[in-house]
Structure 1
């Protein structure tokens, strides 16, 4: 089976292409905006046991996609996106998100449907469900969407457009909504947390009593691969997760254990943390550290007969294992 993966130089797309390339019954076609000078620019530190074909899509919102692009392709996995931006520079962020995540996605999907592709797998986000949950009341795949920011709204609009396209053309659409994805080479807030724990810096999170769902990159890739050809995945929405929720202090301790470091937690009241974060203009970050966001993956487990391959502890350990030590499978 030939699978076209967009965003193949991104965190999720890259891991997916490597997995597909190492399984004999898949052929990976790595699609990016601009081709790299050499494969090693993407896959440094990872052994490549099969050839990976690369193609350039250009700007999906403006480029004219030729039918030959999909020659021999059975399934598209669309990972490319304008993701959540920590320091937004756009005057109109919603328009910027819509341009890439809605217009670009639907243009690609329309072209795929027009040449008779069987399935389109869309990597969305848990932000479509919302930003937070009440402790013990996780999001479910079939909940009414309630996005609160431009990124989440753009992904919801793309999902809605894809569903309409599926109904009109018969092309199967599969939607996966992951929460925070972590793994070797992760950046953003999670990467910053790793650096703080690695330096054994005292962190004021000892009194936080929340629960958050995460998904390791290897578990997410496993789920995507299952959705590529599983009959029950057609026209469904799935939530991704490791199946084990952690509080912020538990995450710090687990990271420290994975690195062989000491977790240094100070029990500062959460109201003090919240107030301080507001003063520093870091309310969004404080919300993630203090609040809960849980996902229920029961539908994913049962309908796809799928289980996360790695526990959270194993997933965190794999953040710090090089490929020569067996970090990739």
Structure 2
């Protein structure tokens, strides 16, 4: 018998890839929660149209027959939040609505609830060579990270009360075809051949390719040992910002033109310009240990970092020629 999945956030960056990967899959029936019917329908996918995931109720059709919920939808991290109380805004959606969905799932007989959280629950930065692990005490810094931590705690409490199998996945920065924000900006700079002052950065950062994250989520859907566990997920290969730009430039056919500006000077300049957070992402380290994913679930990345960068670059270049 096929497993019935309900996927929230199905129109987002990760959700779209997950839906495409599941198209025609012999082991799953897929129901995608959407705000409006997409222009292009994926064959074999059942679409449930609701204003947002907070509108899912036990009486409604979205949860009927569902075995596993993959909860991707959330109020996402933004650089310049215009909310007067950002923490309350994040809590309302990422904690309140998530717990409401999970309670409805319990009432509907759902067996497993996969919550895609964030490495920001652990914190913003690691000491070089000392990656985060699942046993570390959470130390979120911003409202988004705090809300994700509180959602995790609420789901674990619900699981203890009801037996719902909660699985928590904390990805690092996700990249892949269609990636936006800073990663897309890097590709734009490289394509234009802009000289960049990032030639002497010695940090180490974990990334996760979209294909690897989707593969891991699907492993968590079916693997018995994933129940009631928390996982940090990455490609398993860390790179410095300098190395990333060099390798991404190679994937794009646009060799990176990097100037070896000392890290301390980059940080100072960014701080003066009010971009200290950006300098932290460019110069600071953020590594995760995926040993638990590998040993407990027998999972391994399905694409290498270079393969993921190649796919990302080729998609970007293809978009530029349209």
| Alignment match of 1:11 (pick from 13, 21, 41) | 13
Structure 1 partner of 2:250: 257
Q: Deviations over 1:32-72 (max 9, x none)?
A: 2x1135226xxxxxxx5x32221123234466553432112
Which residue of structure 1 aligns with residue 106 of structure 2?
113
Matches within 5 A, 1:1-329: 1-32=3-34, 34-39=35-40, 48=42, 50-61=43-54, 64=57, 66-321=59-314
1:213–1:295 CA contact under 8 A, matched in 2: yes
Deviation at 1:110, TM superposition (A): 0.3
Q: Could you say if the C-alpha distance between residues 37 and 75 of structure 1 is closer, same or farther in structure 2, counting changes exceeding 3 Å? A: closer
2:25, 2:54 → 1: CA distance?
Answer: 32
Query: Tell me, what secondary structure is at the counterpart of 1:300?
Result: helix
Deviations 1:106-127 (A, max 9, x none): 0000000112111000000000
- TM-aligned CA deviation for residue 143 of structure 1: 1.0
Instruction: Name structure 1 gaps, 5 residues minimum.
Output: 41-47
CA distance in 2, matches of 1:309, 1:143: 27
Paired residues, what number?
A: 315
Kept after mapping to 2: 8 A contact 1:35/1:54 = no
TM-score for both structures, normalised by structure 2: 0.94
TM-score with structure 1 setting the length: 0.92
Query: What SS is found at the alignment partner of 1:8?
Result: coil
Q: Tell me, what secondary structure is at the counterpart of 2:160? A: helix
Q: CA deviation at 1:272?
A: 1.2
On the 8 A contact 1:61/1:99 being kept in 2, the answer is no
